[in-house]
Structure formats: structure tokens, C-alpha cells
Structure 1
Amino acid sequence: MLDYRVQARRIDDHGSEATTRDARITLDTSMAGRPDAFNPAELLLASLAACMLKGTERVIPMLGFSLRGIEISLHGVRQDKPPRIIRIDYEIIVDTDESDARLDLLHRNLRKYGTITNTLDAATALVGSIRRKDA
């Protein structure tokens, strides 16, 4: 079993911060919002993207998959009552010469073995695709 620890604290009415190990991130907890920090919903989406990117680093050596780069775009939809994310759409864009079948294999691995991916998939509609980066 792995466990994770994060500490968070309010700085003022414009924001907060979270820390873990030697890392620190500014949080948008202001009622007015702030452009220089992620709000809680954006952090959730960033967590999903980070999970997929970390998963990529884990599986590409196992699959012998060659890539020059990878990008992930995400879109979350929030309902008001009760407030919750009801859907997350994502697109994974891979700069690679691998075949379409190998792209699909990478996508299946990212969906199947990601901690955050599996957690969110159980809680909301998680819909996405993978494609090759345009030349």
C-alpha cells in the first residue's frame, strides 16, 4: 500500500498553498478567483493529466514505445446542484511514428493502470481519445 500526504493552509482571502516533501503549489481559494493559481476543479484536471503523463513514463519502456512528446487537453463539466464534476473529456496528443494500434495500446494502458484515472473513472464520466500529433 502507498499513502500520500499533503498539507494545505490559508494564506489570506486571496489564496492558499499546499505542500508535500519539498514541493509547494499556490491554490486559488479566493471567491473572486485568481489567474495565477489553479482552482480546485483545475487541480483535479491537472491531477488526471499528471497521472496520465506519469503513466506514460512508466509504460513506454515496457512497451518499447517511441515518442518525441505528449500533450493532454482536458475539459471538466460541473453541475451546480449538488456541485460536482459530472464529466471529464480529454484528448491525448502524441508526437510519434508508432502505428495506430500501438497508440491504442498506449491509451489502454494509461486508462487501466492510473491511480487517479481509475479513481475518477469510478466517480464520473471519463471520456477521452488519443491521436497522433499533426505534422
Structure 2
Amino acid sequence: MNYQIKASSLSNEDAVIHIKESNIDFGTTSKTADTLPNPAELFLGSFAACMLKNVDRFSTMMKFNYSKATLDVNATRLENPPRMDNIIYNLTIYSNDKKLNTDLLKKNIEKYGTIYNTIKLSCAISGTIKTLENV
């Protein structure tokens, strides 16, 4: 598989990533540092998207139902050279399904996640998966 995106920016303006029919604004200037995602946050967003996509994918393969999944991701930025390190995630799956095996789901996400596997080559990743019952 091959992937393609486009991005554009104007001098002293913020930028946009163009993916299929979506446009994702992101900050490249100091004036939007508090309102638009920066490149590091987009990077972590890609990691989160990979994990959530795999929750959906594996729900079908592992035959479990869930109503919602939420994910918190934290990382440390090192300075020299500038890079991400020590990504920690907490994935919560809202489900009453007894067939949901969180240990197997975690193993599958770690083994088959494209972005997950790309990132783990350059920094440590750790995390937890827990379930909460639907209300």
C-alpha cells in the first residue's frame, strides 16, 4: 500500500494538510500556538488514529462489541536532538461484552498497528487498555 497527502502554507500564516476530502489546519506560527495543533500533536494524533482504527478492526475479527473508545496519549519531547520519547497511552473501551479480551487486543494493536510499529522503532511506548461498562 502507498499513501499520499498534500500540505500547504503561506508565509507568516498557518498551514493545512489536505487528505482526501479533509483539510486539517495546524499551527506553524506563534499566534495560533494555543488554538491549533502543532506538528508534535499531529504526530501523536496519528498514533491515536492508528490505535482507534485497530480497535474497530479487531472488534470485528475478535467478535466483540463496544459503544465507544477513548484514548489519552502523552509524550516527552527531548531537546538534543529534538525528538519524541516515552509515549504513554491509556485506552478505555466502553463495552459490556464478555468476549472482549483486552490482553489479546493490546497484543494485536502492538503487532499489527502500522503507525504504532513505525514509532516503536524510535522511542519507547507503554500503555494500558481498560474497559468500562456501558451505562
Given that 1:11 and 1:17 are in contact with CA atoms closer than 8 Å, whether structure 2 keeps it comes out as: no
Percent same amino acid at aligned positions? 30
1:17 partner SS: strand
Per the alignment, residue 55 of structure 1 pairs with 54
Deviation, structure 1 residue 32: 4.6
Deviation, structure 1 residue 36: 3.0
Deviation, structure 1 residue 100: 9.2
AA matched with 1:8: A
1:74 aligns with 2:58: no
Deviates more, 1:12-21 or 1:42-51: 12-21
1:123 partner SS: coil
Q: 1:36 to 1:101 in 2, by over 3 A?
A: same
Deviation, structure 1 residue 98: 3.9
The alignment's TM-score, normalised by the length of structure 1, stands at: 0.90
AA matched with 1:68: S
The number of residues matched between the two structures is: 134
1:93 partner SS: strand
Given that 2:8 and 2:16 are in contact with CA atoms closer than 8 Å, whether structure 1 keeps it comes out as: yes
Per the alignment, residue 86 of structure 1 pairs with 85
Per the alignment, residue 114 of structure 2 pairs with 115
Given that 1:76 and 1:89 are in contact with CA atoms closer than 8 Å, whether structure 2 keeps it comes out as: yes
Two-structure CA RMSD over aligned residues (Å): 1.9
**Cα shift readout 1:29-48 (whole Å, capped 9, x = no counterpart):** 11354333210110011001
Given that 2:106 and 2:129 are in contact with CA atoms closer than 8 Å, whether structure 1 keeps it comes out as: yes
AA matched with 1:128: G
Unaligned runs of 5+ in 2: none
Unaligned runs of 5+ in 1: none
Q: Which of structure 1's runs of 4+ aligned residues deviate more than 6 A?
A: none
The alignment's TM-score, normalised by the length of structure 2, stands at: 0.90
1:18 aligns with 2:17: yes
AA matched with 1:43: L
